[in-house]
Chains A and B, each alone.
Chain A
Amino acid sequence: MLRIPAQMKTKKYWKETLEAYLYLLPAFTILGLFSFYPVVKSVYMSFFDWSLLRDTQYFVGWENYEKIIGDPVFRRAIMNTARYVIGYVPISIALGLIVAVLLNSKIRFRGPLRVAFFLPWVTSSVAISMVWRWIYNQHYGLLNMMLAGLANAVNTVVEFVSFGHLSEVWQFSNPNWLMEPQWTIINLVIIAVWQSLGYNMVIFLAGLQNIPHELYEAAEVDGASPWQSFWKITLPLISPTTFFISIISIIGAFKLFTEVYVLYTGRPGPVNSGMTIVYYVYRNAFERYRMGYASAAAYILFAIIFVFTLVQMRASKRRIHYGS
């Protein structure tokens, strides 16, 4: 066997290494300055009472973390996020899957329909939150006007079929969506479902393409209804996609900020009902200039997200293993 002399190989190797580093230089410089360095720096900062308003910073150990964990506002942020996740992730996934399955059949206008469902995902969160602010308006908003119309229709029908015995069964109270704290998370869930449904649909459509068509044909020959095929074939085989979407939706949910900021014009909802972890970081860093404290909060966010990332990574490894 012909062997390349070790000397030559290393010389060529080191030459190529030098060349590769030149290619990597711009990326490495930018990432170094704005990713690697800040990741380390913010750990360091999280152990300090760090203010931009003075020159010396004071080491405080774990105090920032202890204070954050003990802060009812931070707990509120965690609770809000949990409620938001529980509200939005299952609905958005279920609707995304239903639309994907329906669109996956041979139908006309598939392209335009797909675009219609997907459009909300592309648009800027700021502009779209502005539109929802208008929809949620108590007196002139579309939502209350539609609900009032619906309540009226329901009442008329109920009154008619009950021969006038039941009138005004649905007493519509014109809720003030943006001012009453009990609606805050629901408002955000509605926007999130509307915005992410199309994205989930696209991922599900890609997943559905991977299910062998013969399975459905065999099921049909065996007399299975489409309903049975869905439960026995589609749902089990699409489950890795479902899992993937749930994890990334949860991770995304923990980063909620813009929608709250815009919907409530720079406040975290009435009585902190829309407080999120990122909002908490933002408020402490850029409204109160407590940089160390905010860094610690950001690291807690990282820790939470990291757990979900690990779960996702382990699951996808297993998936690849079974697949091959």
Chain B
Amino acid sequence: MLAEQQMWRYRFAKTFRRGLLYAVLIAGALVMMLPFVWMVTSSIKAPHEITLRTIQWLPAVPQWENYKVAWEAAPFDIYFKNSFIIALTVMGLDVVFSALAAYAFAKLNFFGKNFLFLLFLGTMMIPGEVMLIPNYITMVNFGWIDTYASLIVPWTVSVFSIFLLRQFFLSIPNELFEAAILDGCGKFAYLIKVMLPLSKPALVTVMLFKFIGSWNSFLWVLIMTNTPAMRTIPVGLTYFVSDVGAYYNYLMAASTFAMAPILILFLLLQKQFIQGIARTGLKG
């Protein structure tokens, strides 16, 4: 009898704790989502609804045409095109150049290997802001201001990608490599035919981070571009503010479509993304 009572008490305590756990987590998640929710609902409100002094969560009639108005109020088609061209090119070149370098560091023996590797790693300790000014002058001297070249070329190699791929390549057994070389397989063919197919998860992680980093990059694009023709989404968005001023419904519509590609990409590939961060502890 007593045991049964205790059992019930234990079960009650456990259920209660469980309920509390869910309540706290769901409340927390809702708070985290609140700015996104407010962004989307604001984006479909009518002008008089945006200037209400009490909270109105949903508009009386969703104003979907706000998106059309915002899209046409600034050259967002050009901004999007630029963002895609730049992010995809940077991502593609970075993964190729970094894989080549990582392969050399992981599988080849050569003169100055440790020195070069440390030299590469050392740049990860230096904040990019230190390189900003000389790079700006280099771009002026090259005549690359306001061109795709300035927005792409400096970002086509990242030591982080090299490091991540090298670590992954090292985990692929050397016996395989030696056997293949003995059988007359060239080193480059080995990289293409064996290493890269085996390294798909690492390659996806590197490409994902590079794409998102490039898409979201701001300061460099801000100082490199003078005309709307070369601006990317984030920089275009900051200019859009001064164009539309206090029309926050249009501004929120623009913020929504500016974020959309990355949010979709993240939701599709969130496992790789979160695992990648957990493994590397990367800070953007």
- A residues contacting B by CB (< 8 A) are 13-14, 16-17, 19-21, 23-24, 26-28, 30-31, 33-39, 41-42, 45, 52, 99, 102-103, 105, 107, 112-120, 122-128, 130-132, 134-135, 137, 139-140, 142, 145-146, 149, 194, 197-199, 202-203, 205-206, 244, 248-249, 251-252, 254-255, 257-258, 261-262, 265-266, 278, 281-282, 285-286, 291, 294-295, 298-299, 301-302, 305-306, 309
Contact = CB atoms under 8 A, between A and B. Distances in A.
A123 B131 contact: no
Contacts of A285: 132-133, 136
B97 A26 contact: yes
Contacts of B278: 202-203, 205-206
B172 interface: no
Contacts of B234: 124-127
Nearest to A44: B134
B108 A16 contact: yes
A30 B137 contact: no
Contact of A124 (B26, B241, B259): B259
B242 interface: yes
14 contacts: A16-B108, A20-B104, A20-B108, A21-B104, A38-B133, A107-B18, A113-B25, A122-B273, A123-B262, A134-B42, A134-B248, A142-B34, A257-B219, A291-B137
B25 A99 contact: yes
For A197, A199, A298, A305, which residue has the most chain B Cβ atoms within 10 angstroms?
A298
A16 B186 CA distance: 12
B127 A301 contact: yes
Given A28-B101, A135-B35, A142-B38, 19 more contacts: A23-B100, A26-B101, A27-B98, A27-B101, A27-B162, A30-B153, A30-B154, A37-B138, A107-B21, A114-B274, A115-B267, A124-B216, A126-B238, A130-B251, A142-B55, A206-B279, A291-B137, A295-B134, A298-B132
Nearest to A140: B51
B170 to A, nearest CB: 15
Given A16-B109, A23-B103, A122-B266, A52 B137 contact: yes
Nearest to B103: A23
Contacts of B153: 30, 34
Contacts of B233: 124
Nearest to A134: B248
Interface stretch (B4-12, B61-69, B110-118): B110-118
Contacts of A115: 267, 270
Q: How large is the interface on B (under 10, 10 to 19, 20 to 34, 35 or more residues)?
A: 35 or more
Contact of A23 (B38, B53, B101, B235): B101
A281 B219 CA distance: 12
A261 B78 CA distance: 23
Pairs A-B, 7 closest by C-beta atoms? A38-B134, A206-B278, A20-B110, A116-B29, A126-B234, A17-B110, A38-B131
Contacts of A261: 218, 238
Contacts of A134: 38-39, 42, 248, 251-252
A42 B111 contact: no
Interface of B: 18, 21-22, 24-26, 28-29, 32-36, 38-39, 42, 50-55, 96-98, 100-101, 103-104, 108-113, 116, 119-120, 123, 125-127, 129-138, 140, 153-154, 156-157, 159, 162, 187, 212, 215-216, 218-219, 223, 233-235, 237-238, 241-242, 248, 251-252, 254-255, 258-259, 262-263, 266-267, 270, 273-274, 277-279, 281, 283
Contacts of A16: 108-110
Contacts of B25: 99, 102-103, 107, 113
Contacts of B131: 34-35, 38-39, 42
A298 B138 contact: no
B35 A302 contact: no
Given A113-B25, A124-B216, A36 B130 contact: no
Consensus secondary structure, chain A interface: helix
B120 A31 contact: yes
Nearest to B154: A34
Consensus secondary structure, chain B interface: helix
A41 B134 contact: yes
Given A23-B108, A39-B123, A125-B218, A281 B129 contact: yes
A198 B33 CA distance: 12
Given A16-B109, A35-B123, A299-B130, A117 B28 contact: yes
Nearest to B42: A134
A198 B32 contact: yes
B24 A248 contact: no
B194 to A, nearest CB: 16
Nearest to B36: A119
A14 B255 contact: no
Contacts of A26: 96-97, 100-101, 156-157
B39 A131 contact: yes
Contacts of A128: 35, 255, 259
A45 B134 CA distance: 8
A203 B131 CA distance: 29
B277 A265 contact: no
Contacts of A197: 32
A23 B112 CA distance: 14
Contact of A39 (B21, B101, B130): B130
Given A20-B104, A116-B29, A127 B130 contact: no
A281 B131 CA distance: 11
Nearest to A266: B238
